[in-house]
Amino acid sequence: MSKLILTRHGQSIWNAENRFTGWVDVDLSEKGIKEAEKSGELIKKLNIKIDICYTSFLKRAIKTLTTILQKNNLELKFNTAWQLNERHYGSLTGLNKDETKKKIGEEQFKKYRRSWDIPPPPIKEDSKYLSNFSPLNGGIPIGMTPLTESLKNTYERVIPFYENEIKKNLYEDKNILVSAHGNSLRALCKYLFKISDGKINELEIPTGNPLMIEFEKNLNIKKFFYLDDSRTKNIIFNQ
């Protein structure tokens, strides 16, 4: 029976500042470092073997993963994948969320932030934030780097990666740890939990609280739960 542990990175500096981060390669905040350490401690209490781990090209997810591995005394080589990057927020990148809501109105703000298939306007080619994107992005195939994304666009890169890379290892009864981002994990949870386009906007993924998913042999989900009961969020299933 294979297990998949999904961990959103600990709070980032821009999470703390309430800014749209997306592909900007910001670091963890002090709180985020503590959340990553707590994630590692929670996973250690499970007393299970972690066979394979994956993360994105962004340092906040990479640092969360390395912290978890250190807490578990693991020296696993981890796999980085741009497909697990956070959603690209286009022209919203770097903006304060409260200020943006006041400027464009709550209805449009909700569409950009939580709709299934409405992306913000693309980031401008002269945006100062482009220089703060991960240098690892240089390895993305030509023509694949987005200028903006909806959650649907994010889903369209996350799920093929899951199907082609992660799923085969789950079939082989491997226990897998993924350290990624709020929207890349929302996309994956939409697929795994069969969440509809209309309900996915209600799914919240807390920072630094690992979600354990246990599978049966056929990869039907047997059970799922957050490791920190005090910070659990509602998981929408088959709705």
Per-residue confidence in pLDDT tens, the chain, 239 aa: 899 999 999 999 999 999 999 999 999 999 999 999 999 999 999 999 999 999 999 999 999 999 999 999 998 888 999 999 999 999 999 999 999 999 999 999 999 998 999 999 999 999 999 999 999 999 999 999 999 999 999 999 999 999 999 999 999 999 999 999 999 999 999 999 999 999 998 998 898 899 999 999 889 999 999 999 888 778 877 65
Q: Is residue 223 part of a domain?
A: no
The answer as to whether 105 is a domain residue is: yes
On whether residue 81 sits in a domain, the answer given is yes
Quote the percentage of the chain above a pLDDT of 90.
87
The Cα-based distances of 9 to 2, 22, 95, 105, 212 in angstroms read 22, 13, 20, 29, 15
Total domains in the fold of the chain: 1
Residue 212 lies in a domain: no
- How many Å separate Cα 224 from the centre of its chain? 17
pLDDT in tens, 61-95: 999 999 999 999 998 888 999 999 999 999 999 99
Q: Give the pLDDT score at 229.
A: 85
Considering the candidates 9, 88, 149, 181, report the single residue annotated as catalytic: 9
Residue 226 falls inside a structural domain:
no
Catalytic status, residue 9: yes
The model's pTM is 0.94
Secondary structure, 3-state, the chain? CCEEEEEECCCEHHHHCCECCCCECCCECHHHHHHHHHHHHHHHHHCCCCCEEEECCCHHHHHHHHHHHHHCCCCCCCEECHHHCCCCCHHHCCCEHHHHHHHHCHHHHHHHHHCCCCCCCCCCCCCHHHHHECHHHHHCCCCCCCCCCCHHHHHHHHHHHHHHHHHHHHHCCCCEEEEECHHHHHHHHHHHCCCCCCCHHHCCCCCCCCEEEEECCCCCEEEEEECCHHHCCCCCCCC
What CATH number is attached to the domain comprising 76? 3.40.50.1240
**Does some domain include residue 208?**
no
Tell whether 219 is covered by a domain: no
Tell whether 142 is covered by a domain.
Answer: yes
Catalytic residue among 30, 35, 41, 86: 86
- Domain residues for the domain of 76 are 11-175+182-193
| Cβ neighbour number for residue 198 with a 10 Å cutoff | 9
Among 21, 6, 20, smallest CA distance to 54 is for: 6
Instruction: For residues 237 and 222, give the distance between their C-alpha atoms in angstroms, rounded to a whole number.
Output: 12
Give pLDDT, residue 238: 67
Q: Which residues pair with 221 in a beta bridge?
A: 215
Q: Is 181 a catalytic residue?
A: no
